[in-house]
Amino acid sequence: MLDLTQAILNLGFLAGAFTLGYAADRYGRILIYLLSCLGVGICGIIVAFAPNFTVFLIFRFLQGVFGKGTWMTCYVIVTEIVGSDQRILGIVIQIFFTLGIMILPGISYWVPNWQGIQLAISLPNFLFLLYYWAVPESPRWLLTRRKREKALKIMRDIAKHNGKYLSPHYSEITVSNEEVSNPSFLDLVRTTQMRRNTLILMYAWFTSALIYQGLVMRLGIVGGNLYLDFFISGAVELPAALLILVTIDRIGRRLPFAISNIVAGIACLITAFLPDDLPWFKTTVATLGRLGITMAFEIVYLVNTELYPTTLRNFGVSLCSSLCDLGGIIAPFLLFRLAAIWLELPLIIFTLLWMVSMPLSYAAVFPQTNRIPYLETSSH
C-alpha cells in the first residue's frame, strides 16, 4: 500500500509537469505559483480527512499536481530575477528543502498520527498566498510577453529596494514585434543542440530521482532508528549544497556533476556488499551516496533552468523533470519488490543506472553553462 500511495503522489507530479509547467510559461510564474500553493493546502486538508481510500488517492494525486507547480515556479522565479552571476541562488533555495527534511522527523515524532502530519505540512501553504503582495512577476517573462512597462516598473522597484538606480540603458529596451508564441514540446526538440540537451537532461533527472528517492525510502526497510536515520540523511544534504556553492562557479557544472555521480554510484555498490554486522559503517557509506546524488540532483536542476530560453524555461524544466517524477513512480515498486528478493538488490540497480549516466556527465556531453547569460527566446 505504501508503494501505491507514493506512486500516486509522483503521478500527480508528472501531471503537474505537463499542465502547470506549460501554464506558467503562458500565464505567468507568480499566478501559477499562488494557485498551486492554494491547491496544495486545500488538497492536503481533504487528504487528511478523506472518508475513504478512493478520495484519499484522488486528492493525493491532485496534491502532487499542485506541489509540482509550487516547486517549479518558485525555483524559476528566483533564478530569473537575479543576474547570471547570482544564479546559484537556486542552490540556496534547496537548502531550505533540506531543512524541511531535517524538521520532518521531529514533526513525525511529536505528532501522533499521519493525519496530523499531513495537516502540519499542508496548512503552511496558505501563508505563501501573502507572497502576492511581496513577490513580483518575473521581469524576463514580462518582456517576452511584450509587457515592457510592467517589467521596467518591477526592475525599478527592485533597484530602489536595493538602494540603487536602474541604469538608463534599461529604459531603451525594445520589445520584439514578433508575435508572442506559446511554448510547445516541438520547441524543445527543434534543433539538434536543443534536442540533445533535452534528452540528456531527461535521463539525468530520471536517474537522480530514482536513486535519491530509493535511498530515502530504503531507510524504512533496513531497520535502525528511522527518525535519527532520516534526520542524518537530510543533514548530509547541507554539505552537498555547500560543496556546490564553492565549486560550481569556479570549475563549472560538468566536473562536479561527474564526481557527484561517481560518489553516489560507488557508495551504492559498496553498501550492497558490506556485511550487516557493520551497521554504522554501512550507514555511513550509504550516506555518502545520498550526498553524491543530492549534488547531482541540484546541479541538474540548475543547469536545466540555464539551458532553456525564458519563453520555454518553466515548460522545459517541468517537462524534463517529468522524468524525475517517472523515477519517483518507479522507485517505491522497485525498492520494495526487489528488496523482497534481496535487501541490497535495489542498490545494484542504482549502480547500473549510474554507470550509464557517466558518459553523459563526463564526456563533453553535459553542457557547461556557468556565467553564460540566459537566452530570452528560442530564436537566440
Say if domain 2-145+180-362 classifies as CATH 3.40.190.10. Answer: no
Residue 108 has phi, psi (to 5 degrees) of -65, -30
| Average pLDDT rounded to a whole number, residues 18-33 | 90
Q: Hunting for cell 536602474 — which residue is that?
A: 166
The residues, ordered by sequence, that sit 6+ positions from 105 with a Cβ below 8 Å of its Cβ are 226, 227, 228, 230, 231, 234
For residue 175, the model assigns a pLDDT of 53
Q: How many CB atoms lie within 10 A of CB 339?
A: 18
Q: How far is CA 191 from CA 186, 188, 195, 239, 364, in A?
A: 9, 8, 6, 38, 18
Taking a C-beta distance cutoff of 8 angstroms, is the pair 30, 77 a contact?
yes
Confidence tier at 367 by pLDDT (50, 70, 90): low
For residue 70, the model assigns a pLDDT of 94
pLDDT digits over 76-96, tens only?
888 888 766 676 777 888 889
| Average pLDDT rounded to a whole number, residues 20-36 | 92
| Dist. CA 264–CA 344, nearest whole Å | 15
| Average pLDDT rounded to a whole number, residues 24-47 | 95
pLDDT digits over 199-209, tens only?
888 888 888 88
For residue 173, the model assigns a pLDDT of 59
| Dist. CA 211–CA 324, nearest whole Å | 10
pLDDT digits over 297-351, tens only?
888 888 888 888 777 787 888 788 888 888 888 888 888 888 888 888 989 988 8
Residue type, 237: E
| Average pLDDT rounded to a whole number, residues 60-82 | 90
Domain residue spans of the chain: 2-145+180-362
pLDDT digits over 216-262, tens only?
888 767 666 778 878 887 888 899 888 988 888 788 788 888 888 88
| Dist. CA 83–CA 103, nearest whole Å | 32
The residues, ordered by sequence, that sit 6+ positions from 274 with a Cβ below 8 Å of its Cβ are 281, 282, 285
Q: Which three cell numbers stand for residue 286?
A: 550509504
Residue type, 191: T
Please compute, for residue 261, the number of CA atoms within 13 A of its CA located in the half-sphere on the CB side: 27
Q: Which three cell numbers stand for residue 161?
A: 529596494
For residue 365, the model assigns a pLDDT of 47
| Average pLDDT rounded to a whole number, residues 167-184 | 59
Tell whether the model's pLDDT for residue 354 goes beyond 70: yes
For residue 364, the model assigns a pLDDT of 41
pTM of the predicted protein model: 0.80
